[in-house]
Amino acid sequence: MRESHASASAITPTGITSTAAVPTASGSVNSKASPFNYGTDIMRGVNLGGWFVLEPWITPSIFENTNDTNIVDEYTFGEMQDSEQALGILQNHWDTWITEDDFKAIKAAGLNHVRIPLGYWSVPITSVDTNYSTSVAPYITGAWPYLLRALNRANENSLHVILDLHGAPASQNGFDNSGQRGSANWANDSTDIGRTLDIIRYIASQVGGMVNVIELLNEPAGWVADINAAIGAYWQDGYEVVREVAGNTNEVMIGDAFLGVQHWESFMLPPEAYNVTMDYHQYQIFNYDQLELSLDQHINYSCQVIDTLASYADSNLNTITGEWSTAMTDCAKWLNGRNVGARWDGTYAPGAPVLGSCEGYTGNMSSFSDEYKTFLRKYWEAQVQIGESIQGWVFWTWKAENADEWSYQKGLEGGWIPQDPTDRLYPDICSGSSQVDI
């Protein structure tokens, strides 16, 4: 299908209009997702991070170019600068960050899925669709047509889409990747949960046929009491919304909410629910205990996760590792937030311990030693074995401006990720590993 464009107006929350060309859905009829045998065939995919939800570490230049260090997430990006200027920047980003060539390259790399994070503010729900507030100020709206084009491009390249609600009203985790850094207030008020369900309803009704999987919410903060109390019912209600609106075609994805998969034993199984997948995220860089692991210990820890996840998946929900990377440090600039340093080199907080230098562990791969690249390959293979032992895996992320250890694209170029994801240099890397609780 050939792409077409039309001149359209995009309205920001403050009412400022841009006359920049906005893509149509790449044709008069939206494409249909092709079927995938979930639970039988292995999902092998990559996240398209930093596209429809800004993350300072993925695209630091967008934030640096504001010349305002108070702009730390997409919320403040719209709040603390001229709205028309912000809209123009975002439209260019939406148009260029992931292109048709990227979808072709992802397919050529032997992958079969893309996971597309989306913020609630980009879903053009109106008062016709909900009794709750539809205001998203100060977020900048207008991404939806670009999303539709992305879904068509994915389908045209036989890539199955996981559409992931990555940011909810009032933030479900307080991370900058939820759109608003700070506190996780999503469950403080039941209206935000109800509003989120109506957003899921809109997504299912408008693009349910274009995607294979609808992920109800990314990484809700289960350590927050109100969210812990609400998330189980939200998973069930969200499932019912998708089934009511879109039927039984879509896989519905939920997450462990940082509570561990064991917390969800016997949850949402048939006949209560069908075609539900658990999304587990595997990182080893956000606490000191894991950062202190040696290279071999990082690999061994990954291998030890296999039995825990496989045991859960065998008797509960289909399970994937929906986010993971080859990073063994938190050295990528602003990975912990804009203006926040790294635990690894002691810049995270005053008086923080120093584990080592970040030199040679992040940034451009030209600085990576052969030893480090060998580790990256081994680490990639070990973590792929986790996903292949269950129902699949989705790497985070396809590209980043200056963090090649996080980039699938750069991993292919640098050789630590194989051109064929089933190729192995270390097929026995996980032999003899024991189980670890997660």
Residue 98 makes CB contacts below 8 A (sequence gap 6+) with 48, 51, 150, 398, 399
Spell out the residues 6+ positions from residue 111 whose beta carbon is closer than 8 angstroms to its own. Answer: 44, 45, 46, 159, 421
pLDDT 10s digits, 121-154: 999 999 999 999 999 999 999 999 999 999 999 9
Tokens in use for 33? Answer: 């997702």
Determine what percent of the chain is predicted with pLDDT higher than 70: 92
Residue 9 in this model has a pLDDT that exceeds 60: no
User: How far, in Å, CA of 352 to CA of 406, rounded?
Assistant: 24
Say if residue 92's pLDDT is above 80: yes
pLDDT reported for residue 435: 55
DSSP code of residue 41 = B
> What gap in Å lies between CA 165 and CA 241, rounded to an integer?
14
SS3 content of the chain, % helix, strand, coil (to 5): 35, 15, 50
pLDDT score of 5 more than 50: no
Q: What is the pLDDT of residues 238-271, one digit of tens each?
A: 999 999 999 999 999 999 999 999 999 999 999 9
Confidence bin at 437 (pLDDT 50/70/90) = low
Tell me the pLDDT of the chain averaged across its residues.
94
Q: Is there a catalytic annotation at residue 333?
A: yes
The residue from 74, 251, 333, 388 that is catalytic is 333
| H helix intervals, 73-158 | 74-79, 83-96, 100-108, 144-156
Residue 7 has pLDDT above 50, yes or no: no
1 pLDDT above the threshold of 60: no
Confidence tier at 10 by pLDDT (50, 70, 90): very low
Mean pLDDT of 339-353: 97
Q: Is residue 55 among the annotated active site residues?
A: no
Cα of 228 vs its chain's centroid, Å: 21
Q: Give the number of residues written for the chain.
A: 438
Q: Residue range 394-406: average pLDDT? A: 99
Helices (H), 275-425: 288-291, 295-315, 370-389, 408-414
pLDDT at 373: 98
Let me know: does 216 contact 178? Beta carbons within 8 Å: no
**156, 215, 219, 405: which one is catalytic?**
219
pLDDT at 349 over 50: yes
Would you say the C-alpha torsion 78, 92, 401, 50 has a positive or negative sign? positive
pLDDT(310) > 50: yes
Can you tell me whether residue 11 is helix, strand or coil? strand
Q: Which two tokens stand for residue 356?
A: 């080592």
For the cut 80, the answer to whether the pLDDT of residue 27 exceeds it is: no
The pLDDT, as a whole number, for residue 12 is: 33
Query: Are 139 and 13 a contacting pair, CB within 8 Å?
Result: yes
Residue spans of beta strands (DSSP E) within 175-221: 213-215
pLDDT (0 to 100) of residue 433: 60
What is the pLDDT at residue 432? Answer: 67
Question: Is residue 70 pLDDT above 80, yes or no?
Answer: yes
Encoding tokens for residue 73?
A: 């997430």
In three-state secondary structure terms, 417 is coil
Write out the two tokens for 87.
Answer: 């809209």
Structure tokens at 193: 């949960």
Domains and CATH numbers, the chain: 31-414 (3.20.20.80)
Q: Is the pLDDT of residue 20 over 80?
A: no
